[in-house]
Amino acid sequence: MGCRAIVLAGAVLAVAGCARGLKETWQTTPPHPGSEVVVAVVAAQNPDPYAAGRQAAQALKDKFLGGPKVVLISECYLGRKNKERLLRGIRSVLPREILFGGATYGSITIDGCHDRDAVALLGLAGDGVGVRAALERELGASGPWTEDASDPLARRLRAAGARLARKIPTSASDRLLVVIADAHSPKNGPLVQGIQDVLGLRFPIIGGSVSKNAGQSYVYYQGEMFSDAAVALMLSGAFNVSLAGRQAKEAKAVVATAEAATAIAHQHLKGSPTLALIFDCAGRKGKLDRPADEIVPIKRVLKRDVPLFGCYCAGEIGPADTSDASPNVLSHGVGWHIMIALLGR
């Protein structure tokens, strides 16, 4: 009985990341103005999650001299055990400290949509980009969004958003905050408001909520799994960012809004795009018989092989396409959107 309790406590500590004294903030070296930013995206599909993780991580590592500075993970394996095995596979190739991301309903790359039993990795490297990351645990976001529960939930999430943002010291070269949270729409709304209480209403924020399917809700921070948590990555450097978001709730509008959002982001980007970050709604994907139909116009608008890295989410963060979106606020936490951030120089 005593042994069982010790084993259980050890497992709980390992899950929480406490077993190795996990710090809730992390950073790379700061960016150097004028230096290059290197981007690579890979994907792997394999019923064996360890093999897929290892394969994708090796493919990503091979694309960089000296390996990536930071890696964003989007994966769609079923169940905790498979997700743990996937992370083990990735960690067998790449250092755990640089691994962030979440469980999603599928990933987007230039090759299309990767959902069941697939993982996609985005790697960033080069002296031109710096990354600071933070983790906020115990958001207190579980429970239905009902009349009696929504106000307390919103208060907790807004406070959690502010705590998350305060963990990241700001700098003049900050360009984009990427947020991945266990906060199904509409809970991502107050979370973003809390972040904006610290960063301001016009700071570019993009992101998405992890899969809310039972047993699948995890965010990844330094290669570990967390539920009821949010991760933020502040990207800084001498690059430009352009954000756009469009909403669609019916099949016929999904493809058109993907094209429109990409076109708007492209039109407002100073310089040429070097990366398209996409946070798309899983509900939009569910309206399409072929999810790749939505990716075709994105590629068409970008006109060349700009690396795409995206995921299907349970809520999106970015410019809202709703009737009540305030023009003074750049990003909102909403649902049914495709959010696109183009990074360019």
Partner 1 sequence: MTGCLPAAILWLGLARCATGSEPVALRVENLTVPPSSGPLMHVLIANRGKARYEGKVDVSVPEGWRLNRTRLRVRLRPGETRRLDFAIERALDNRRNRYRVAVVAEGGGRRVERTQEVVCASAPYFQPRIDGKATEWDDAIPVSFVTRGKRTTIRTYWNHDAFCVLVEVQEEDLSTRRRKPDEKIDAVQLAIARSGTATPSRPRARAERHEFLPVASFSWLRRSRCYRLLGPGARLVTATQERDLDGLECRDVALAVRCRKDVTTYECAIPFRLMPEIKPSEGREFFFSVLVHDPDGTGLREWGEAAGLWPWQRNPLAWCRWRGDSRGQAPPFDSRTEWGLCSSRH
**Residue ranges binding partner 1 (CB under 8 A):** 78, 105, 115-116, 142-147, 150, 184-186, 211-214, 216, 249-250, 281-287, 289, 314, 322-324, 334-336
In this complex, which beta carbon is closest to partner 1, that of residue 314 or of residue 338? 314
Q: Least distance in Å: CB of 316 to partner 1?
A: 11
Alpha carbon 43 to its chain centroid, in Å, reads 15
Cβ 210 to partner 1, closest distance in Å? 10
Residue number with CB closer to partner 1 (211 or 236): 211
| b (16+ CB within 10 A) / e for 105-132 | bbbbbbebbbbebbbbbbbbbbbbbbbb
Tokens for 130, please give them. Answer: 């710096």
Q: Which two tokens stand for residue 199?
A: 């960063």
Quote the radius of gyration of the chain (alpha carbons, Å): 19
Nearer to partner 1, 6 or 214 (CB): 214
| Nearest residue (CB) to partner 1, 137 versus 285 | 285
Could you tell me the smallest distance in angstroms from the CB atom of residue 308 to partner 1? 21
How near is the Cβ of 212 to partner 1 at its closest, in Å? 4
If you search the block for the tokens 């906020």, which residue do you land on? 136
- 58 vs 150 by CB, closer to partner 1: 150
CB of 117 vs partner 1, minimal distance in Å: 10
The sheet with strand 129-136 has its strands ordered as 25-27, 129-136, 230-237, 174-181, 205-209, 316-318, 332-334
Nearest to 253 by CA among 225, 226, 281: 281
